[in-house]
Amino acid sequence: MTVLRAWRSFDMRICAGFSPRGIAWFPAREALRIVQSAEPRGPFPEPNTAMTSFLKTTFLLGLMTGLLMLIGGILGGRGGVAIAFVFAAIMNFASYWFSDRMVLAAYHAQPLDASSAPELYSIVNELAHSAGIPMPRLFMIDSDTPNAFATGRNPKHAAVAVTRGIMRICTREELKGVIGHELSHVINRDILTSSIAATLAGAVMMLAYGARWGALLGGFGGRDEDERGGIIGLLAVSILAPIAASMIQLAISRTREYQADASGARLTHNPLLLASALRKLETANERVPLEAAGPATAHLFIVNPLSAGGISRLFSTHPPIEERIRRLENMAAGRSQ
């Protein structure tokens, strides 16, 4: 009954309680800010929608951490669970504090200001002011492939990066739609969420890789190995765990992309601006994928920077562009999803 009352009152101490004994590390202070940002603020989502999305994402992150601990348990018993949990906590903390610096450095992004990119600076400043957040730092990626992403653990430490290509092919209005989408990620703390999800997925895959080698070498030995499934258990984990981790990360990413599309459309007061930009970006990225992009950071971009043709589209962290455009057009027409 106590838990039920806390749930109904959206008591964020529940999130803090996950830390010592629960399933996922998630900063309680950040969780509180997420809920506060869900309050009615002009163009942003209704509180119930934002809270539902937040709870769903928190559950999926917990599921991912549980998977990581399961692998640790198979590899090392109770000690493996403890090691896996500590490993997840350390990786989460590092991702939370340093993800923006790491991803910007990975793409050799260069800082921009009002003198070097006046039009972009004007758009970002206008939308940030409308959203009630500080002006984020701006960066340019030297690539002709049109794309963009936002990073940073919260609005005070946010950064928006665009490629040279997107500045060339998008009109000012379309660029406004793109920036509205990215600032919505900042407002909704999606950068934090996606960074944690990517880190946990990577940790699961690394442990699964170790399990695969353990199986090939005949197991890790020890009297408790048969109880943990032996070589067959290691093989099963090495095959199934990466698939499960990828599917969970995909579900998180798609949920946040749809929400950012809707929030960005409300911020710019015109869903068709983003819809028009998405058409251009998808076509260009399918033709010339971003060379520097990798699977670990692909989820950050507004459209998938990797080649995703055929069956690989089923495992993309981005929702289908056609569905995103359909939802935006329905918003513009005042129709329900």
Q: What does the angle CA 296 – CA 272 – CA 154 come to, to the nearest 5 degrees? A: 40
Angstrom distance (rounded) from CA 53 to CA 28: 17
How would you label 273-310 residue by residue, b for 16+ Cβ within 10 Å and e otherwise? Answer: bbbbbbebbbebbeeebbeebeeebbbbbbbbbbebee
Backbone angles phi, psi at 142, to 5 degrees: -80, 80
- Look up residue 149 and give its DSSP letter: E
Q: Distance between CA atoms of 318 and 299, rounded to whole angstroms?
A: 7
- Nearest to residue 289, comparing CAs of 300, 305, 278, 313? 305
**CB neighbours of residue 222 within 10 Å:** 11
User: Which tokens in the block code for residue 67?
Assistant: 């998977």
Please report which residue ranges of the chain form alpha helices under DSSP H.
Answer: 2-8, 13-21, 28-37, 47-106, 118-131, 164-169, 172-187, 190-216, 230-268, 271-287, 321-333
Answer whether 323's CB lies under 8 Å from 330's CB.
no
Closest of 250, 271, 249 to residue 260, by C-alpha: 271
Write the DSSP string, 249-310: HHHHHHHHHHHHHHHHHHHHT-HHHHHHHHHHHHHHHHHS--TT--TTTGGGBSS--S---G
Active-site residue 322, yes or no? no
Is residue 79 a contact partner of residue 270, using CB atoms and an 8 Å limit?
no
Among candidate residues 182, 225, 257, 282, the one labeled active-site is 182
Q: How far is CA 48 from the centre of its chain?
A: 21
Q: Which residues are catalytic?
A: 182
